[in-house]
Amino acid sequence: MKIAIVGYGNLGRGVETALLQQSDMEAVGVFTRRDPATLDSRIPAYALADLPHHEIDVAILCGGSATDLIEQSPDIVRHCNIVDSFDTHARIPEHFAAVDAAARETDHAALISTGWDPGLFSLMRVLGAAVLPDGTVDTFWGKGVSQGHSDAVRRIPGVVKAVQYTIPKESAVAQVERGEGAGLTPRDKHLRECYVVAAADADREAIRQAIVSMPNYFDEYDTQVNFIDEAEFKAKHTAMPHGGQVIRHGYTSPDTPQVMNFSLTLASNPEFTASVNVACARGLYRAYQEGKRGCMTIFDLPISYLTGLSAEELRKNWL
Amino acid sequence: MKIAIVGYGNLGRGVETALLQQSDMEAVGVFTRRDPATLDSRIPAYALADLPHHEIDVAILCGGSATDLIEQSPDIVRHCNIVDSFDTHARIPEHFAAVDAAARETDHAALISTGWDPGLFSLMRVLGAAVLPDGTVDTFWGKGVSQGHSDAVRRIPGVVKAVQYTIPKESAVAQVERGEGAGLTPRDKHLRECYVVAAADADREAIRQAIVSMPNYFDEYDTQVNFIDEAEFKAKHTAMPHGGQVIRHGYTSPDTPQVMNFSLTLASNPEFTASVNVACARGLYRAYQEGKRGCMTIFDLPISYLTGLSAEELRKNWL
């Protein structure tokens, strides 16, 4: 299976690392809009414009949703099958339609919006609803870095560096597991913790106020702001851990609660997302080989397609 | 979707309860080898021999693996599509082959060995291996009643009633979550707790010894034996709670551990198993309508097939 990587940020690097663990995949190269000579990739780097001249079974698109994928996915699927991790929830139907049309025109297949959320967490929410129809689902995220919230803090005058961790509140997780999660507010479910390096002459109290009162991002949450120096920031806050859990609580009969919980504890968010996307590339290519065309999501693939194992092997040793 | 239930033990009752929660399913009836007039079912009961005279989309087989399903599944699939929860791991390939041949002869479809283990836990083991190929998987069961171990205790002379709970050891779960589960023995992973009602004249110490030294069942475990009276047994030990977890620990790069954990906390083992089987019946029927024939497992069905939701709805609201 010949796999290409489009984009070489954190996710692209993660896909490169993941591909080197797969015995059934060959990494064709990294395709970039930057000068390929400037990339420190372990596999060959090429200009994105050269992509149509390469033989590729699946391209894994590693750009951002807002500006990259919305245009790249329908564009690149004209040349080969693609997997992306488009995560702007409100625009998924529109993105799906554009990718589906382009893929069908050129007889290709695509799998969009995968990773862990959207992706594995979506799968678990649907599985939970299918098995426990009389129930509720709650998703918790963290402890982990939210890029959007970190960016928002960095835009405040006087902030040099900043990272924001989203942390689920254990009391809320316990409530949900008991089936008592109805009515939980954003403030009840997650805590926001910021580590900020401020400029020497900055007014720290003003920065703190600007953060905790920021509409949409922080005002509906309990937010802790910690000021640290650059050395501590570099030592403790440059990794990208993340995680979370999807909890389905339901009743199979009036006094019979049942709980399904899927949780992730990730030392590296981009490397894990990359690993899911690589497994999905395998699954998509299997579907393509069986004649499937157009756009799909992780809901449409049998789990067996994600592995390189045969159906006989799966039945014998994995059931 | 017209669904039949074959067998009316705990699992059959659970399926009956689950079917009454589904808006897209009609319960055709319970089919039994007993006198149908003696069943206290809420839906009509018929003799098993009458099954071929009913219009059935999927029959959910609720018998035991050892004596019932090994014969019933290939037999009944000649009349209609079937779902079973065959769980004798060593005989799955043989059972699959028999069901597959019978189903193909008569143009039907079957889904075998579903429930939660085998079933959802199998799915999670495969998903974990697909996403984190450089990793290990461990399964813990409980706290829950093991029917096989409870039966073994009940066969000891002097035992009137008994129940055995399998309990995962928290220390072992923590070790596995840290990626240090290699070399864990059965004794390290699970504790066995027995509640026994002894005959008035029984030698309790002899019963205790007979339990803890029983080969295969208890000798490789730490086993606690508690003697209680009939009233306490009836009050506290007649429910069928269960649960467990599948933990995949893997590395996406040398110092980057990633953990996936799927856990179940079930107030009723048979009702939850039944709910999984009903969702699988929906999925199987969808595959059948799309032209799939022969025998399948839960690895072969897209998760979307288990729900009644459309692909558009899933993309819009569940990704």
A-chain CB neighbours of B86 within 8 Å are none
B67 in a structural domain: yes
B48 in a structural domain: yes
Specify whether B264 is located in the same domain as B274: no
A24 in a structural domain: yes
Specify whether B17 is located in the same domain as B73: yes
Angle at alpha carbon of residue B102, lines to B7 and B10, rounded to 5°: 15
Q: Note the pLDDT of residue A139.
A: 97
Whether residue B165 contacts residue B193, with contact meaning beta carbons closer than 8 Å, is answered with: yes
A122 in a structural domain: no
A-chain CB neighbours of B19 within 8 Å are none
B124 in a structural domain: no
- For residue B133, give the nearest of A22, A131, A316 by CB distance: A22
Tell me if B309 and A127 make a contact (CB, 8 A cut-off). Answer: no
Q: Binding residue per annotation — B116?
A: yes
Instruction: Calculate the alpha carbon distances from B104 to A312, B78, B97, B293 in Å.
Output: 17, 9, 11, 6
pLDDT tens profile B134-175: 999 999 999 999 888 999 999 999 999 999 999 999 999 999
Q: Note the pLDDT of residue B139.
A: 97
Mean pLDDT for the stretch of residues B18-37: 96
B43 in a structural domain: yes
For residue A109 the two structure tokens come to 């297949």
Whether residue B25 contacts residue B19, with contact meaning beta carbons closer than 8 Å, is answered with: yes
Nearest CA in chain B to A257: B267
**Separation of alpha carbons A196 and A214, rounded Å:** 15
pLDDT tens profile B115-135: 999 999 999 999 999 999 999
Specify whether A195 is located in the same domain as A304: no
A-chain CB neighbours of B302 within 8 Å are 299-302
3-state SS track over A116-144: ECCEHHHHHHHHHHHHCCCEEEEEEECCE
CATH number of the domain encompassing residue A183 = 3.30.360.10
Q: Note the pLDDT of residue B29.
A: 98
Percentage of residues in chain B having pLDDT higher than 90: 95
Specify whether B134 is located in the same domain as B242: yes
Mean pLDDT is highest, among B67-71, B214-218, B278-282, for B278-282
Residue stretches of chain A with pLDDT short of 50: none
The whole-angstrom distance between A202's CA and the closest CA on chain B is 36
Q: Note the pLDDT of residue B282.
A: 98
CATH number of the domain encompassing residue B9 = 3.40.50.720
For an interface test with A, give the residue of B259, B299, B300, B305 to mutate (most A CBs within 10 A). B299
Q: Binding residue per annotation — B115?
A: yes
Q: Note the pLDDT of residue B104.
A: 98
Specify whether B169 is located in the same domain as B257: yes
pLDDT tens profile A211-241: 999 998 999 999 999 999 999 999 999 988 9
Specify whether A256 is located in the same domain as A154: yes
Specify whether B142 is located in the same domain as B205: yes
pLDDT tens profile B255-309: 999 999 999 999 999 999 999 999 999 999 999 999 999 999 999 999 999 999 9
Residues of A annotated in the binding site, as ranges?
8-11, 32-34, 62-65, 85-87, 114-118, 141, 166, 192, 242, 269
Q: Note the pLDDT of residue B216.
A: 86
Residue B5 has pLDDT above 90, yes or no: yes
Tell me if A264 and B261 make a contact (CB, 8 A cut-off). Answer: yes
pLDDT band at B195; cut points 50, 70, 90: very high
Tell me if A125 and B318 make a contact (CB, 8 A cut-off). Answer: yes
Specify whether A108 is located in the same domain as A226: no
pLDDT tens profile B294-318: 999 999 999 999 999 999 999 999 9
Tell me if B89 and A113 make a contact (CB, 8 A cut-off). Answer: no
Q: Which residues form the domain of A159?
A: 129-268
Angle at alpha carbon of residue A216, lines to A211 and A219, rounded to 5°: 50
Q: Binding residue per annotation — B34?
A: yes
- For residue A259, give the nearest of B177, B265, B314 by CB distance: B265
For all residues of chain B together, what is the average pLDDT?
A: 96
A305 in a structural domain: yes
Domain count, chain B: 2
Nearest CA in chain A to B269: A258
Specify whether B69 is located in the same domain as B148: no
Q: Note the pLDDT of residue B110.
A: 98
Specify whether A151 is located in the same domain as A255: yes
Specify whether A215 is located in the same domain as A312: no
**Separation of alpha carbons B276 and B114, rounded Å:** 7
Tell me if B256 and A265 make a contact (CB, 8 A cut-off). Answer: no
B123 in a structural domain: no
Find the length of chain A. Answer: 319
Specify whether B36 is located in the same domain as B13: yes
Residue B198 has pLDDT above 90, yes or no: yes
Size of interface A-B (CB pairs under 8 A): 199
